[in-house]
Amino acid sequence: MPTYLVALILTGLVFVASVISIEIGFAAAIIEIALGTIAGNFLGVQTTPWIDFLAAFGSILLTFLAGTEVNTRIMRKNLKESLLIGGVSFFAPFVLCFAFAYWIAGWTFQAAEIAGTALSTTSLAVVYAVLVETGLSNTDLGKRIMAATFVTDILTAVALSILFANINVYTIIFAIVSVVVLVAMPKVFPWIAKRYEGKVIEPEIKFLVVILFLLMWLGDAGKTHAALPVFILGLALSGLFEHNVALQKRLRVVGFAIVTPFFFFKGGLNVGLSAIYANVGLLVAFLAVKLGSKFIAVFPFARYYHDQHGMYTTLLMSTGLTFGTISSLYGLQAGIIDQVQFSLLITTVILSAIVPTFVAQRWFAPSIGVEGEPIWVEGSNGEKIHVGDAKAGASNPAE
pLDDT given at position 33: 86
Our CA dihedral for 263, 231, 157, 129, rounded to 10 degrees, sits at: -40
Q: Please report the DSSP string for 253-297 in residue order.
A: HHIIIIIHHHHHHHHHHT--HHHHHTTHHHHHHHHHHHHHHHHHH
* CATH code at 3-389: 1.20.1530.20
Q: Measuring CA to CA, how many Å separate 206 from each of 91, 182, 232?
A: 38, 18, 19
pLDDT given at position 237: 93
* Closest residue by Cα to residue 260 from 113, 52, 62: 62
SS3 (DSSP) at 351:
helix
The per-residue pLDDT string of the chain (399 residues; one tens digit each, 9 = 90 and over) reads 899 999 999 999 999 999 998 888 777 888 898 899 899 999 989 889 999 999 989 888 988 988 887 778 888 888 999 999 999 999 999 999 999 999 999 999 999 999 999 999 998 778 988 888 888 888 889 989 988 998 998 898 888 778 876 788 999 999 999 999 999 999 999 999 889 887 888 899 999 999 999 999 998 888 877 888 998 899 899 889 888 888 888 898 888 888 989 988 888 888 878 878 889 999 999 999 999 999 999 999 999 999 889 999 999 999 988 778 878 877 887 789 987 898 899 889 989 988 999 899 889 988 764 344 434 444 445 444 444 443 333 333 332
Our CA dihedral for 306, 307, 309, 313, rounded to 10 degrees, sits at: 40
Question: Do residues 54 and 210 lie in contact, with contact meaning Cβ atoms separated by under 8 Å?
Answer: no
pLDDT given at position 25: 73
pLDDT given at position 356: 94
pLDDT given at position 396: 34
